[in-house]
Amino acid sequence: MKTSLARGLAVAVTLSIAAPAGIARAEWQDEFDQGKQALVDKDYRNAENHLITALGDADAFGESDQRRLRTLSLLAKVYSKTRQWAAAAPLLEQVIKGYEKEGTEKSPDAADTFMDLGIVFHQMKEYDKAEQSYLASLAIKRRRYRDNTASIAAVVTNLAELYRRRKNWPKAEELLGQAIADKEQELGPDHPSLVSSLTDLALVYLNLNQFEKARPPLERAMAIAAKESGGKSDDMATVLHNMGMLCAGESKMEEAIGYYNRALAMREELLGPKHPMVATTLINLGNAYTTSGKPEEALPFYDRAVSIREFEYGKSSSEVGAALRSSVIALDRLGRKDEAAKVRERIKAIGSAFASGNTHLTTPPWPSDQLIPARTLRRPEARGRCSGHRGILGSRAGGGTRLPVTGAETCARPRSPCSLPPPCSPPSDGADVAAIAAPIRTPTSARTRSWPPTPP
């Protein structure tokens, strides 16, 4: 009797311990699944809310538990999708630390996370950290997964773009040639991932004013992009924009205007009318009209671009200064001196580098804010800050509060999703758009875990 009673008590105690653990796992899974689905549905506020709750549940499983790392990765993706780079970076850094603690920092998932972290740092213009992350990803893939050349080529493409931004043209050209060859070998000559590498290679030649070399890779990228999503995609819009740049460099303004208009219509449809990439195309379209002797037609495009960038980056950002510079040139050519003087005063107040009195439209080599590669990197924007447990995108009930950027040029790393500073304002070295290749993941058969971190 006593033995049976003891056994019964032991079973009861075991069940009393196991039940809460099972409930915790079920609660985490439910919140995680809802957050994942909300992300698929592009309901980013609810995705953030569910994943922050799931993260709180996962903390009980341990710092390096796969459920916690999966949650961190997915939450980082939410912030990347909403261009909250300062929020995404520390989450991915926590994932890397989790891999290191488990001794799996050389795994395929770790390589992919290093790639994602490099992309985030790249977008934040922290180029040294981006390079370190890319090289870490590349080292793992080359050492342990060398047969997956397309995945390696995606990292190489991003490294090449980093070197292009640093004006190391020979190194960028070499790496892009290597990436293109590797992708062709493994994926074939018409794979969509080639668009980013081909477009970046064309950008190198555009930077060097070598237009005859820029045209073939752009035309090939356009042909490949035309087969993707019925010819209506971010890739196609980007290639159209850069074809406009090429034609403008060759003084073929009517052709440039045609390409810009096609790119603009596609971007507005795919990204929305207030997306920062729409603003960049608006500025280039306005420049083409001004250069063609039609500054009156250019002004509405400039005004709209300024409005978009004010909302995206803040009224005192260098991106707004760049847009205003084009506007003031059009006003000068129309003889509207008083209006032009007021715009110059605003540019001066912004502290833009464009307040130098230059009265000529930019001619090649262009500043890189006019070059949009196949996978665009977006920078921090003026969005909401954290309040209590609500994260930075808003609560389920109230939808959150939009707060302006404070004007700081650098952004402190947030300690957790609920202790975030205001988003970073853009760096002060001019509006600079970079390219990233869409990450090509290590095949599932080579993985040590079934659920990989997801790319931005």
Averaged pLDDT score across all residues of the chain: 77
| pLDDT for res 16 | 45
Distance CA 309, CA 106 (A): 41
* pTM over cut 0.75: no
Q: What is the mean pLDDT of residues 244-262?
A: 96
| pLDDT for res 21 | 61
| pLDDT for res 257 | 97
Place 4 in a pLDDT band, splitting at 50, 70 and 90.
Answer: low
pLDDT digits (tens, 9 = 90+) for 293-305: 999 999 999 999 9
For residue 376, which of 123, 173, 162, 79 has the smallest C-alpha distance? 123
| pLDDT for res 24 | 77
| pLDDT for res 28 | 93
Output the six-digit token pair for 228: 């993707």
| pLDDT for res 25 | 85
Q: What is the mean pLDDT of residues 337-365?
A: 68
Q: What is the mean pLDDT of residues 368-394?
A: 39
Kindly tell me if the per-residue pLDDT of 221 is higher than 90: yes
Q: What is the mean pLDDT of residues 124-132?
A: 92
Output the six-digit token pair for 243: 């074809």
What does each C-alpha distance from 449 to 104, 110, 444, 445 come to in angstroms? 10, 11, 8, 10
pLDDT digits (tens, 9 = 90+) for 68-104: 999 999 999 999 988 888 899 999 999 999 999 888 8
Output the six-digit token pair for 315: 């009224």
Between 147-156, 222-231, 344-353, the lowest mean confidence (pLDDT) is in: 344-353
Percent of the chain surpassing pLDDT 90 = 56
Distance CA 192, CA 351 (A): 41
For 145, other C-beta atoms within 10 Å of its C-beta total 18
Kindly tell me if the per-residue pLDDT of 442 is higher than 60: no
The answer to whether 355 and 347 have CB atoms below 8 angstroms apart is yes
Cβ burial, residue 387 (10 Å; 0-12/13-18/19+): middle
Phi, psi values for residue 435, rounded to 5°: -110, 150
Kindly tell me if the per-residue pLDDT of 177 is higher than 60: yes
Amino acid at 420: L
Alpha helices, DSSP H, located in 334-384 = 337-350
| pLDDT for res 443 | 34
Kindly tell me if the per-residue pLDDT of 129 is higher than 60: yes
For residue 129, which of 116, 143, 144 has the smallest C-alpha distance? 116
Proportion of the chain in helix, strand, coil states, percent, rounded to 5? 65, 0, 35
Number of residues in the chain: 456
| pLDDT for res 394 | 52
Kindly tell me if the per-residue pLDDT of 376 is higher than 50: no
| pLDDT for res 105 | 78
Distance CA 71, CA 36 (A): 9
What does each C-alpha distance from 115 to 99, 103, 372 come to in angstroms? 14, 18, 21
pLDDT digits (tens, 9 = 90+) for 6-28: 555 454 444 444 445 667 788 99
Place 379 in a pLDDT band, splitting at 50, 70 and 90.
Answer: very low
| pLDDT for res 358 | 47
Output the six-digit token pair for 373: 């590669």
